[in-house]
A and B are shown apart, each in its own frame.
Chain A
């Protein structure tokens, strides 16, 4: 949990059109509505994501005391990903194909049959496989109308922004260098310059 321990890496976003009065109960309900849920079947792979509490990635109850810390609204984003080891799957599939060829006396296996055998293998293996589990902390500064997610992964940031929008009906804008220029008190003059400058060449003339 980078928010509470260890080195921190994060991306910063402006929350657009944040309401002046914070509907805390409504937002806790929004977290619950989009909470992390265990998949209905353990026999399937893929990604599964949702909100969890900051304190424990297995907890999907969101309380005022556990989420609101003065101006901060904090929780975590859990992403599970269940995959089968590719080499093991390929090796087991190869053995099953050899068995099928021996049983049927054929030299080649049709693609449809191969697909069915692979699907059967996945159904057998997925329940025995645990997902990889990651939780990324989130801190929304309600006073500054900015939100940080504590990961530098572009893919996770993308998923976070989609789920955030679905949950709260609010959109976010990444705060980059041009945003910092545009938000400065000299923005009018500076943006006029930013719109026309190109990158500078820092090499000395004789280089």
Chain B
């Protein structure tokens, strides 16, 4: 048997894996405060998204310090803005997503873009097969929206206007 990638090496192999997820969460927070937190995301249509009731900040470096802001709307607090001003990045955040009449709540962990604690809209009460199909549909919709948001982030982050337009706009927002 090959001892392949048992430590998820591929997640951290590329240097960008260490920061792309964290930057995506910062961008998501910023983008959620532009245009009333709405984006047109193919193939889902208009999607609302927001930072929900948790943000975990961390300092850079090998022995990071974390601060976990929970409850209420932590994204609106002075503590959160101060953390950003101090150069902290985001380790994880609880996000809200709404598409059509469906609303999701989930925790997104920056490293590996891992999904945790996903709460999906009302479930059908019929048989096990139907429940599995419905829950997989809802999971894939939530994952698909996150992937589409990530693509939007990449269009900004890896596009030609990052340094001249987008990053200065985010810095201005951080400075508030």
Residue ranges of A at the interface with B (Cβ–Cβ < 8 Å): 3-5, 7-12, 55, 69-70, 72, 74, 139, 141, 148, 152, 154, 157-158, 161-162, 165-166, 171-181, 184, 186, 189-190, 193-195, 197-207
Contact A180 B115 (CB under 8 A): no
Known: A9-B114, A180-B154. 10 other contacts (CB 8 A): A4-B131, A12-B143, A74-B132, A152-B109, A162-B1, A165-B2, A174-B112, A180-B147, A197-B157, A207-B87
How distant is A72 from chain B, measured CB to nearest CB, in Å? Answer: 6
- Main secondary structure on B side of the interface with A: helix
Contact A157 B8 (CB under 8 A): yes
Q: Which residues of B contact A204 (CB under 8 A)?
A: 85, 171-172, 174-175
Contact B112 A176 (CB under 8 A): yes
Complex: A202 Cα to B172 Cα, angstroms: 9
Complex: A84 Cα to B105 Cα, angstroms: 38
Query: In chain B between 135 and 150, which residues have their CB closer than 8 angstroms to a CB of chain A?
Result: 135-136, 139, 143, 147, 150
Out of A10, A176, A193, A202, name the residue touching B17 (CB < 8 Å).
A176
- Main secondary structure on A side of the interface with B: mixed
Out of A8, A173, A178, name the residue touching B5 (CB < 8 Å).
A173
Given known contacts A161-B5, A177-B21, A204-B174, A152 and B114 CB-to-CB distance under 8 angstroms? yes
